[in-house]
Amino acid sequence: MYLKNHFSRIGFILAAAGSAVGLGNIWKFPYVTGEYGGGAFVLVYLLAILFIGLTVFLAEAVIGQNAQADVATSFVKTSKSKNKNWKFAGFILFSGLIILSFYSVVLGWILSYVFTSFGTLPSDAKTAGAAFETLISKDIAAQIAYHTIVAGSVIFIVLKGIKEGIERINLILMPLLGLILLGLLIYSFTLDSFSTAVSFMFSPDWSKIDGNALLAALGQAFFTLSLGVGTIMTYSASLPKNVNFVKSSIMVAIVDTAIAITAGLIIFSFLFEAGAQSSAGPGLVFISLPVIFSGWGFLGQVIAISFFVALVFAGITSAVSMIEPSLKFFIDRFNFTRRKATVICGSTFYLLGIVALLSMTSAYSESLTFFGKNAFDLMDFMTSSVMMPLAAILTCVFLGYFVDKELLQRIFTAHVSNLVFNIWYFLIKFIVPIAIITLFLNKLGIL
Ligand code: PHE
């Protein structure tokens, strides 16, 4: 029954774009761009999306769409040898559950800012910083409550399956997200600082670009396209085989990039209008922006609510895509019902999320610190610095060396020219693995 449950073409594009567009675009992209000085970083990031992100996206899509199965089975089915051991590549889907644990906590913080926006936002940076600090280090009950609302919504959506749950929620939330961002963009056009934001984002300052910036751009390209956790592979497994996956993948990458750039323009216009710093780091959205909104009176309140609601919408559609690979795995391989799979995976990430949030509080941080990192940071590190790069390297090496080239050529050339296939194949076989291995070793401090 589940296998018959397929996306429509537009449903897939929206769902994959919904997965891709998340906190990574609206929260992380602007602050990382700010930290690396703007234009040059944006350019490097665009190149990373085009040559590396899109290449790996196509890799996951081709495996998923061709095998029409869960991640573990897809590797076995696609391999030249059909060796059953390829099922161990399925380990990558657990990253999704781990990321979801702390992603849900962060989404909970954002939800709390939606509610705060209806009341009074802090009017200076000191109060704003203290309010955020209190939320994450002291307010356990509130954090658990918000995390519960987010986790409950994710579970509610995925229980309904691909078509009725995931496709439908994306069909509703993605256009709404687009509208809110368009509204905010139009508002930022009216600000004098808009042109400063444009030149900040598009005139390169090469002096800020070093090895770290290159790696940050590559890591961001991966995270924002939802690669390395089996999400794109799993969504593509529900994409009917006759749909042009190359075109659909390009569409997703374009939407994702357009939204990151739009979010950057909006946020930098706001920051420059208020004379604030562009390099505020992770606190940008939680500390700098609320202060700016509060200075704009009633209009500021409307903008604050719209902005945080947009973040929640973007985050929820990403969150559901993090759990789906695990659900499909249990449903397809172990014949679990969707309900049973959801209960198991849902309670796992929910409880891990509570561990993550407790590990940031002053009361529990000491007992929840392992290898010098609190549980929250450890989960982040294990996924983004270890498991996701490993998954990406594995996917490239798998396609480049353990899958029949003719098979891939046949699938690709049904949609694109042989030249395009050859470029993709060259990138996946040589360039991308080298780039990611460099990133990986560097993040682990080996290079
Ligand atoms: N792409 C999402 C974002 O930018 C995050 C994500 C990572 C979603 C991995 C699914 C899988 O926020």
Q: For 312-324, what is the HEC assignment?
A: HHHHHHHHHHHHH
Q: What integer pLDDT is reported at residue 442 of this predicted model?
A: 81
* Any ligand 1 atom below 6 A from CB of 229: yes
Residue in 77, 152, 73, 139 with CA at minimum distance from that of residue 112 = 139
* Any ligand 1 atom below 6 A from CB of 14: no
Q: How is residue 302 written in tokens? A: 């409307």
* Any ligand 1 atom below 6 A from CB of 92: no
User: Which pTM value belongs to this model?
Assistant: 0.94
* Any ligand 1 atom below 6 A from CB of 86: no
Q: What integer pLDDT is reported at residue 301 of this predicted model?
A: 96
Would you call 141 exposed, middle or buried from its count of C-beta atoms within 10 A (0-12, 13-18, 19+)? exposed
pLDDT in tens, the chain (447 residues): 344 579 999 999 999 999 999 999 999 999 999 989 899 999 999 999 999 999 999 999 999 999 999 999 999 999 999 999 999 999 999 999 999 999 999 999 999 999 999 999 999 989 999 999 999 999 999 999 999 999 999 999 999 999 999 999 999 999 999 999 999 999 999 999 999 999 999 998 888 888 888 888 988 999 999 999 999 999 999 999 999 999 999 999 999 999 999 999 999 999 999 888 888 777 889 998 999 999 999 999 999 999 999 999 999 999 999 999 999 999 999 999 999 999 999 999 999 999 999 999 999 888 888 888 899 999 998 898 889 889 999 999 999 999 999 999 999 999 999 999 999 999 999 999 999 898 788 877 776
Check residue 1 and report its DSSP letter: -
Q: What integer pLDDT is reported at residue 1 of this predicted model?
A: 37
Q: Which residues pair with 374 in a beta bridge?
A: 369
* Any ligand 1 atom below 6 A from CB of 24: yes
* Any ligand 1 atom below 6 A from CB of 226: yes
For 258-274, give the DSSP string: HHHHHHHHHHHHHHHHT
For residue 369, the surrounding DSSP H or E stretch is strand 369-370
Contacts of 42 (CB under 8 A, 6+ apart): 33, 201, 202, 204, 261, 264
* For the chain, domain boundaries: 9-443
* Any ligand 1 atom below 6 A from CB of 321: yes
In contact, 285 and 27? CB cutoff 8 Å: yes
How many whole angstroms separate alpha carbon 297 and alpha carbon 63? 51
* 9-443 classified as CATH 1.20.1740.10: yes
How many whole angstroms separate alpha carbon 195 and alpha carbon 272? 10
How far does the centroid of ligand 1 lie from the alpha carbon of residue 333, in Å?
Answer: 25
Q: Whose CA is nearest to atom 10 of ligand 1?
A: 226
Residue in 315, 255, 291, 366 with CA at minimum distance from that of residue 99 = 315
How far does the centroid of ligand 1 lie from the alpha carbon of residue 49, in Å?
Answer: 14
Tell which atom from ligand 1 comes closest to the C-alpha of 227: 9
Q: Best mutation site among 104, 223, 285, 312 for ligand 1, i.e. most ligand atoms within 8 A of its Cβ?
A: 223
How far does the centroid of ligand 1 lie from the alpha carbon of residue 115, in Å?
Answer: 24
* Any ligand 1 atom below 6 A from CB of 231: yes
What is the signed CA dihedral for 111, 21, 38, 136, rounded to 10 degrees?
30
How far does the centroid of ligand 1 lie from the alpha carbon of residue 225, in Å?
Answer: 6
Q: What integer pLDDT is reported at residue 205 of this predicted model?
A: 86
Q: How is residue 46 written in tokens? A: 């665009």
* Any ligand 1 atom below 6 A from CB of 223: yes
Q: How many CB atoms lie within 10 A of CB 243?
A: 18
How far does the centroid of ligand 1 lie from the alpha carbon of residue 391, in Å?
Answer: 15
Q: What integer pLDDT is reported at residue 242 of this predicted model?
A: 92
Say whether 293 sits in a helix, a strand or coil. helix
How far does the centroid of ligand 1 lie from the alpha carbon of residue 98, in Å?
Answer: 12
How far does the centroid of ligand 1 lie from the alpha carbon of residue 153, in Å?
Answer: 17
How far does the centroid of ligand 1 lie from the alpha carbon of residue 21, in Å?
Answer: 7
**Helix runs in 335-431, H state only:** 338-358, 375-380, 388-401, 405-413, 418-426
Q: What integer pLDDT is reported at residue 426 of this predicted model?
A: 98
Q: Whose CA is nearest to atom 9 of ligand 1?
A: 226
* Any ligand 1 atom below 6 A from CB of 433: no
